[in-house]
Amino acid sequence: MLAHVLDAARAVSDRPPLVVVSPATEAVREVFGGDGVDYALQPEPLGTADALRAALAVAPPDADELVVLSGDVPLLRPETVRRLLELRRAEAATVAISVMRPPDPRGYGRVVRDGAGRVARIVEEKDADEATRAIGEINAALYAFDAAWARARIDDVGPSVTTGEYYLPELVAMACAEGGTVVALDVADHRELAGINDRVQLAAAEAELRRRIVEAHMLAGVTMLDPATVLIDAGVEIAPDVVLEPGVVLQGRTRIGIDTVIGTGTRIVDSVVGERCRIWSSVIESSEVGNDVRVGPWAHLRPGASVGDGAEVGNFAEIKSSRLGPGSKQHHFSYLGDATIGSHVNIGAGTITCNYDGRAKHRTTIGDGAFIGSDTMLVAPLSVGTGARTGAGSVVTHDVPDGMLAVGVPARLRHPRTPPTPPEGSGPAA
């Protein structure tokens, strides 16, 4: 939620946003760190005015304008914040507030206006009588202040007689009492500034954010066969003319190249997928996929996997911390872990790189144009040379030189009866 609010703040100011945390919420520092975010500590959460007091204690002294946002309003749009600032500046107002009229105003502070229709004060629901609770116009908790005035008056805010908390709307009443100008921006979409108080509201906000993200990608040229079933994180980048089939999930900092098709049931997390690829019913995590690659169905690229241009990874194939070279094929029921595979290598069905000896991981290296027979066990550390081959069912425990054949359990080296035919594009075998 906070990431979306920070994005809105950054869109209207070149200063780092200042996040107020309490001892109970300091874990947000671990998520956002210090990269472009400043922090203020509210030792005890005693209300929104107390939070602003903590922020003002560390805010830049040369700031002449303050925008106060709530951390639980992820649907806030930058243009709304910009409109609020423009309104305050145009009216030279002491305070600008945002108001809305949701179908159900319960839980929000009510906006009380005077006989001339001007904002007079804001009454929190806990402090409101029945007549005030009947008011449908509510405070949306987005403010813009004259910074010098806010610094001068923040310590004058007293505690609520009901809760003992210090409420930020008291500053609105103070400004009105002094004859200052208080202006209100009416936000038509009541969902935009709705706070998140439970899991039901969280789910509703997530659904709206997903809809916005999906719509933006489609307007930018991405085809989605069933947009309602596609889940895309805000940080995902998708090139034009990508096709997303139903049930696709794209998360984290994923990037998808032009003309790629992401098939039904695929989940891609923090990964880069190149151009003209076909990914089908597979999971890709923290990996890199080149151009013109085929993955799936039911393949799993675990963190550290890298698949070269034109390679193919088939059903029930798994790759972890390994490089599958350009044009290589790993089609069926196989595992590559801690391995470097050259170009135009064939990985037979059931092949496993036995990378773990019970104490440490070891690497396997396979040279260009090699042919690994079905059900081969490659017991690392191990090197299979350029153009080398293994027989079906072999357990290879020693290095295989270039052009040699390893067969048996344990595998023994032989000269192949016929030299292997190099795959197209691989060049002659050594």
Catalytic residue IDs = 332
CB 103 within 8 A of CB 88: no
Q: What is the spatial order of strands in the sheet that 364-366 belongs to?
A: 237-238, 255-256, 272-273, 288-289, 306-307, 323-324, 339-341, 364-366, 382-384
Give, as one character, the DSSP assignment of residue 254. -
Q: How far apart are CA 213 and CA 223, in angstroms?
A: 13
CB 174 within 8 A of CB 132: no
User: Which tokens is 292 given?
Assistant: 């013109």
Strands 300-301 and 317-320: parallel
Contacts of 374 (CB under 8 A, 6+ apart): 348, 349, 350, 351, 392, 393
How long a stretch of residues is the chain?
430
Give, as one character, the DSSP assignment of residue 242. -
- Mapped onto helix, strand or coil, the DSSP state of residue 374 is coil
CB 171 within 8 A of CB 121: no
Instruction: Let me know if 108 is exposed, middle or buried by CB neighbors in 10 A (0-12, 13-18, 19+).
Output: buried
Closest C-alpha among 302, 296, 293 to residue 339: 302
